[in-house]
Amino acid sequence: MTDRIELDPDESAYNFAYLDEQTKRMIRRSLLKALSIPGYQVPFGGREMPLAYGWGTGGIQVTASVIGPDDQLKVIDQGADDTTNAVSIRRFFEIVGDIRTTERTADATVIQTRHRIPEAPLKEGQVLVYQVPQPEPLRNLEPRETETRKMHAYSEYGPTQVTLYEDIARFGHIAKTYDYPVIVNGRHLMSPSPIPKFDNPKMQDCPAIQLFGAGREKRIYAIPPYTSVRSLDFDDHPFEVQTWKGCCALCGSTASYLDEVITDDKGSRMFVCSDTDFCKTRQASAPQGSGQRR
Amino acid sequence: MTYVAVKGGEFAIVNSHKLIAEARRGDLKFGELSLGQIREQFGLAVDRVMVEGSVYDPDLASLALKQAQGDALEAIFLLRAYRTTLPRIAISEPLETANISLRRRISAAFKDLPGGQVLGPTYDYTHRLLDFRLAADGDVERQQAEVADVPLDTAMPRVLDILGDEGLIEPELANRNPTEPVFDLTREPTVFPAGRDQRMQNLARGDEGFLLGLAYSTTRGYGGAHPFVGEIRMGEVAVVIVPDELGFAIEIGEITVTECQMINQFRGSETAPPQFTRGYGLSFGECERKTLAMALVDRALRSRELGEPVRYPAQDEEFVLSHSDSIEAVGLVSHYKLPHYVDFQAELQLVRQLRAEYEASQPNEAAE
């Protein structure tokens, strides 16, 4: 045994974007497979990451594998650039990759997201990386992986359709509000990750590449650009998205997804855009004094 | 061939004790750990030992951890064994967590709310990169957090009360008669079906890892939970008792607690409208992981009461309550290390006999 505990205080050099190059290559191969079979969950050798599973380890691994020194990274959580987890992940890539970051959707080449798709339309050349807690859309119907894999193989998606029907029988409408299942490219049932169903239509025929990383479950899946993404529904009960009566209290938008902010304990509340960049951009271009509170 | 007696003599036991004392102390080149060092620098370990040991005493928990070489379960065992010798002086009034001196308060359900989000001390947003500066002995730069210009809002309405005002969450009801004494898990035998008081006590003392695994299962297909953290509060709260001889309430001290209120989806039943339901967790000290798990398992255990099918381990009251206590679990599992020569001899004889009978009953293949 040594007299002192010998650890080098300077031993803090990590590879570009944290992951070693072999791991990145393995993940990129999984991504290529995922893009070739849209919506299919590709198992991959997920690594332990320096943040907790469920906090974006899958998204971070995907981002680390596709990002390069010329990229500009945007990270959002619940649509916002300034929420704690988004700030933390953005800082991580600044530290381990010296990567340029941005809050502007239009300027970003890689956007890592949790629970939202930006309101501004995405374009070719952009990559949207989703953090996925639960990639298996059939998990709540069948907890066993051995069974769900067979169900995907046989396109046995009737039970999912039945759960939606049960909602209609009971409530008169479908009661699923987020993580609303979709059929990708007419073949695979896919979890869109827990985005509100409001965002589902943005996945359809999207010019950007959409990559989904589930770190804890060690699965990657993808939607290539311009691919069909259909939300499950019925002819007489077509898919619908959330709407609000009012508009954003800051920018006046009536077309964006709104968050509820409680302003006192007497039931007062206001609604604001969850997409902070979208909201700020609108506020900057709006004439002064039109319903602005900041 | 020599015959080796495997009986543990007195000498062997005494020597074994000396050996663990030696191992506990480690190399004498390093200074002996003080209880103060453990209490101040291993605070989260101390808190876990206090909760599962169910004694609020950071000094005793530090002693237990030191004696147990840092092994949490062994330290919990030491504390439990000590607490059982203590007289029960009084039963406190329910803690009023609305009046908590907050160090941390977050809600995952609303972006902002009166009083605001208070991050407090949390590892949540640290990157788990080893900090090699801590390896340098003693000369780490001391860091101090910035103090805000204005103190925290004293009005910190509970998030669940805000939902309650709108009637969107089930009312908080005690499912027992308030004049009846609270069930005491440490003095009364477990009974099924268990009241929520018994369940909550069991979960509070239950093994963190076990509860965490169960809580995890409920969100991963074996329980169908759709949880939202309504609110987590951590801070100091007063302990109040009403002594019989005084007849009025007096404050006897302050303890640190972590409280977690979980909001869960509920589609309604024959008798209840669609609304959110509650899961609750409370612990001594700073034990956020524990209270989160506790709140999820608490909600799962309410399945029967809410008319949901009981299909998964976390919803099965008998399964959860009978197996969550680490001290009970360690006891039975480790007892297999004790000698079982006599029963094993009996089994050995039986297997030899059955084997002989089996072989005798087989058709003679050599004849073919």
Domain ranges of chain B: 2-83, 97-329
A207-216, B89-98, B292-301: least confident range: B89-98
Would you state the pLDDT for residue A4?
56
Nearest CA in chain B to A274: B111
pLDDT of residue B5: 54
pLDDT higher than 70, residue A188: yes
Nearest to B110 among A84, A262, A265 (CB): A262
Query: At a CB cut-off of 8 Å and minimum separation 6, what does A73 contact?
Result: A63, A67, A90, A93, A99, A100, A101, A102, A108, A109, A110, A111, A112
Active site residue A45: no
- Whether B112 sits inside 8 A of A262 (CB atoms) is yes
pLDDT number for residue B289: 97
Q: How much is the pTM?
A: 0.82
pLDDT class for A33, splitting at 50, 70, 90?
A: very high
Amino acid occupying residue A66: V
Measured CA to CA in angstroms, residue A233 lies from A61, A174, A223, B29, B302 at distances of 33, 8, 20, 71, 32
Q: How confident is the model at residue B363 (pLDDT cuts 50, 70, 90)?
A: confident
Contact B214, B320 (CB under 8 A): yes
Looking at residue B180, what is its pLDDT? 79
Mean pLDDT of B215-239: 92
Task: Check residue B174 and give its pLDDT.
Answer: 58
Weakest mean pLDDT among A137-151, B85-99, B172-186, B207-221: B172-186
- pLDDT score recorded for residue B211: 98
Q: Which residues of B302-327 are buried (b: 16+ CB within 10 A; e: fewer)?
A: bbeeeebeeebebbbbeebbebbbbb
Mean pLDDT, residues B327-341: 87
Query: Is A273 an active-site residue?
Result: yes
- Across residues A283-292, what is the average pLDDT? 66
Given this model, what pLDDT does residue B366 score?
A: 59
pLDDT band at A10 (very low <50, low <70, confident <90, very high): very low
Q: What pLDDT, on a 0 to 100 scale, did the predictor assign at position A292?
A: 43
- Answer yes or no: do B111 and A92 touch at CB < 8 A: no
- Look at residue B78 in the predicted model and tell me its pLDDT: 95
Q: How many helices (H) and strands (E) does chain A have?
A: 7, 12
Buried b (16+ CB within 10 A) or exposed e, A153-187: eeeebeebeeebeebeeeeeebeeebbbbbbbbee
Would you call A50 and B119 a contact, using CB atoms and an 8 Å cutoff? no
Is the pLDDT higher at A163 or at B265? A163
Would you call B357 exposed, middle or buried from its count of C-beta atoms within 10 A (0-12, 13-18, 19+)? exposed
Instruction: Give the per-residue pLDDT at B318.
Output: 92
In whole numbers, what is the pLDDT of chain B averaged over residues?
A: 89
Share of chain B above pLDDT 90, in %: 54
pLDDT band at B105 (very low <50, low <70, confident <90, very high): very high
Supply the pLDDT for residue A291: 46
A267 Cα to chain B: minimum distance (Å) = 7
pLDDT value of position B336: 87
Residues of A with CB under 8 A from a CB of B: 1, 3-5, 7-12, 14, 49-52, 55, 78, 80, 84-85, 87-88, 91-92, 95, 134, 136, 139-140, 142-143, 170-171, 175, 259-265, 267, 272, 274
Q: Is the pLDDT of residue A287 over 70?
A: no
If you average pLDDT over residues B145-172, what whole number do you get? 85
The answer to whether the CB of B292 falls within 8 A of the CB of B215 is yes
Q: How far apart are CA B44 and CA B39, in angstroms?
A: 9
**What are the pLDDT digits (tens) for B241-252?**
999 888 899 999
Per-residue pLDDT at B1 exceeds 70: no
Question: Is A206 an annotated catalytic residue?
Answer: no
Instruction: Name residue A229's beta-bridge partners.
Output: A184
Say which residue, B295 or B1, is predicted with more confidence.
B295
Active-site residue flag, A279: yes
Chains A and B form CB pairs within 8 A to the count of: 77
Residues whose CB falls within 8 Å of the CB of residue A63, separated by 6 or more in sequence, listed in order: A17, A73, A93, A110, A112, A129, A213
When pLDDT is averaged across residues B294-299 and rounded to a whole number, the result is 96
Residue length of chain A? 294
Cα-Cα-Cα-Cα dihedral sign, residues A213, A65, A112, A57: positive
Paired sense of beta strands B101-106 and B227-241, if any:
antiparallel
Of B128, B222, B274, the CB nearest to A143: B222
Predicted confidence (pLDDT) per residue in A72-104, tens digit? 999 999 999 998 899 999 999 998 888 999 999
Interchain CB distance below 8 Å, B110 and A263: no
pLDDT for residue B213? 97
**Residue B18: pLDDT band with limits 50, 70, 90:** very high
Residue A46 annotated in active site: no
What CA–CA distances, in Å, run from A52 to A47, A89, A219, B169, B288? 12, 12, 16, 30, 14
Average pLDDT, integer, range A26-42: 97
Cα maximum dimension of chain A? 77
Which one is predicted more confidently, B351 or A11?
B351
Helices (H) and strands (E) in chain B, counts: 12, 4
Which residues in A lie closer than 8 A to residue B127 (C-beta atoms)?
A: 50-51, 88, 91-92, 95
